[in-house]
Structure 1
Amino acid sequence: MRIGIDLGGTKIEGVVLADSGAPLFRQRVASPSHNYDNIIDAIASMVAQFEREIGRQATVGVGTPGAPSIHSGLMKNANSTVINGKPLKADLEQALNREVRLANDANCFALSEAVDGAGSGQQVVFGVILGTGVGGGLVVDSQPLLGRNFLGGEWGHNPLPGANEHRRCYCGSSDCIETYLCGSGLLRSAKRLNPAIESTHDLAQRAQEGESSALAVIEAYAAALAKALATVINIADPDIIVLGGGLSNIDALYPLLNNQLAGSVFGRECQTSVVKALHGDASGVRGAAWLWPAA
């Protein structure tokens, strides 16, 4: 059996998966996000409770914001800033007295959808999280492609093709894909056309009701997303692209994207489909469990 832990900024979620992928137990607790030691204790406590329930020791995978430094092994780039600079993997292994596998939350999302989600049966799956930020993960033969620098799938911090607004990104660069395609980036663009739009949920509702300004924003967003995804297709040529995160629930995106991708891909032909995640918000924690593949 596999235990998956999704370490977020506001919550810690855990799941026990049977070998079939069926969830046996789930739990969600508030994250003690301002105290690193308490985070370690909370994860260890959750694992112990799960193992009491199943009556045996299980493998443990953890999805995290950020990634370990290639030089020090210490965490970096996590929006849960208390774990930055900390040896998270080593501390969890000491607390649990076993090997623990860690991966970025976007890689966990992509892995979940590749193993038994919307990308099941496909050899190369690119998973995209469109939410507060923009993340990505690349999975090949049901294995996350982490890369030499642990940057596999970090697509959101490449420049958006054709962008010239000089939007500053927290990473220090300008006009990153994330600054246009994350939730706040989309809302910023929406308010230019219609200042009355209050949120991305409001935008989606207005588009569903046929409001012309909202539809125009969604169409422009889909065009930008198609250009950004085309850069991934030109390099990795995935069989399927799976979208997750809050913005993936805008259903109008999918026909637009699947119609526009070919126009941005080299050679102007594209058979890669863009689909919504099957497991939705549960994909991150499920993917953490799947960091331990079937023997």
Structure 2
Amino acid sequence: MSNFYWGIDLGGTKIECAVMQYADDHCVLRKRLPTEGEQGYQHVLGQIKKLIDQCAEEVGEYPKSVGFGTPGTLDPATGNMKNCNSTHLNGQPLDKDLQALLGCPVKLANDANCFALAEATLGIAKQIKPDAEVVFGIIMGTGVGSGIVVNGKVLNGCHGIAGEWGHNVLEANGAPCYCGKQGCVETVLSGKGLERYYREHSDSNLSLPSIVSMASQGDKFAKQTIDRMHSYFGLAVASIINVIDPDVIVVGGGVGNIDSLYSEGRDAILPHLFNPTLNTVLAKPALGDSAGVFGAAMLVK
């Protein structure tokens, strides 16, 4: 019987492996290699194999199965990857190729799903509400991603896109999104979206942390940007609560570091909520950059 369960976080610039101990979920080894995606799909597969072999040598055991967090989704209809910003993965039967390469079963999930799974089972949701049935994990950074965990399991959905909250239309006739629509949650509430809004109204180009700081100092356009963020965050999150009614919503990414999301942003949810009170807990993540690779490992625990 194996002592460990394994996860790989397949990122655009790095591939990270975590080897976790069954007995106590302790991480006994974390190791990284560069992805080098510009060298193509087969090269990336080779990097994954090299990393697995190096880790197996260090822990003295080859994996019986491996969970993978990926920058896109495996389409249940075609068996191929889709929606990957690491475009060399799109259209590839990644799970089948990995199983053949590694000689063991693999399980894939979107990186936002892995974030949600880790925070639900090992991170902040487990700490503050260990009996939580439904956890919704949001990554609000350069883009916006999210995942749903129900009773400790990732919800994938019929099309493999469960939790794709970032591509619901939030602002009619808003900014164009790479997905082809306009005004998606991602265009409004991502760090880039907030910075763009400030730039368009102030003619100044500031980073999001600077905009937050300027808002606290009374800058008119910075305050307008942050107030708008609160309002749209409330509207967008209320739709999630009305549909899946999560116990905990974990908000990661750079935008999730803005403290006022958990006060003014939370207050902005209630006017759009079907329920007269809001009992869902909004929380910052506990696992930092470990969440993705830990969540990948949890896929095969």
CA distance in 2, matches of 1:11, 1:118: 25
TM-score (norm 2): 0.91
Q: Which residue of 1 aligns with 2:149?
A: 139
- What residue is the counterpart of 2:257 in the other structure? 249
- Counterpart pick for 2:248 among 233, 240, 249: 240
Match of 1:279 in 2: 287
The answer to whether the 8 Å contact 2:6/2:300 transfers is: no
Alignment check: 8 A CA contact 1:258 1:273 kept: no
The verdict on how the C-alpha distance between 1:45 and 1:188 changes in structure 2, with shifts beyond 3 A counting, is: same
Q: How does 1:205-220 map to 2 (within 5 A)?
A: 205-207=213-215, 211=219, 213-220=221-228
Aligned to 1:289: 297
Which stretch of the first structure deviates more once superposed, 129-138 or 184-193? Answer: 184-193
Over the aligned positions, Cα root-mean-square deviation in angstroms equals: 1.6
Indicate yes or no: 2:41 matched with 1:36.
yes
Identical positions, percent: 41
CA distance in 2, matches of 1:106, 1:210: 35
User: What are structure 2's unaligned runs of at least 5 residues?
Assistant: none
Cross-structure match for 1:174: 182
- The total of aligned residue pairs comes to 291
Structure 1: give runs of 5+ residues left out of the alignment. none
What one-letter code is carried by the residue in structure 2 that aligns with 1:267? N
Question: Residues 221, 55 of structure 1: CA spacing in aligned structure 2 closer, same or farther, 3 A cutoff?
Answer: same
Residue 51 of structure 2 corresponds to 46
Contact 2:18–2:293 (8 Å) recurs in 1: yes
- For 2:84 and 2:243, locate their aligned partners in 1 and report how far apart those are by CA, in whole Å: 26
Deviation at 1:227, TM superposition (A): 0.7
Is 1:112 matched up with 2:118? yes
Deviation at 1:142, TM superposition (A): 0.6
CA distance in 2, matches of 1:106, 1:5: 14
The worse-fitting range, judged by mean Cα deviation, of 262-271 and 59-68 is 262-271
CA distance in 1, matches of 2:33, 2:219: 39
Looking at structure 2, the residues matched to 210 and 27 of structure 1 have their Cα atoms a distance apart, in angstroms, of 45
| Equivalent residue number for residue 78 of structure 2 | 72
Query: What is the alpha-carbon distance in structure 1 between the residues aligned to residue 203 and residue 121 of structure 2?
Result: 42
**Which has the higher mean CA deviation after the structures are superposed, 13-22 or 223-232?**
13-22
Aligned mates of 2:250, 2:156 — CA distance in 1:
18
Mean alpha-carbon deviation: is it higher for 151-160 or for 209-218? 209-218
2:11 maps to amino acid: G
Q: TM-score, normalised by structure 1?
A: 0.93
Aligned amino acid, residue 20 of structure 2: L
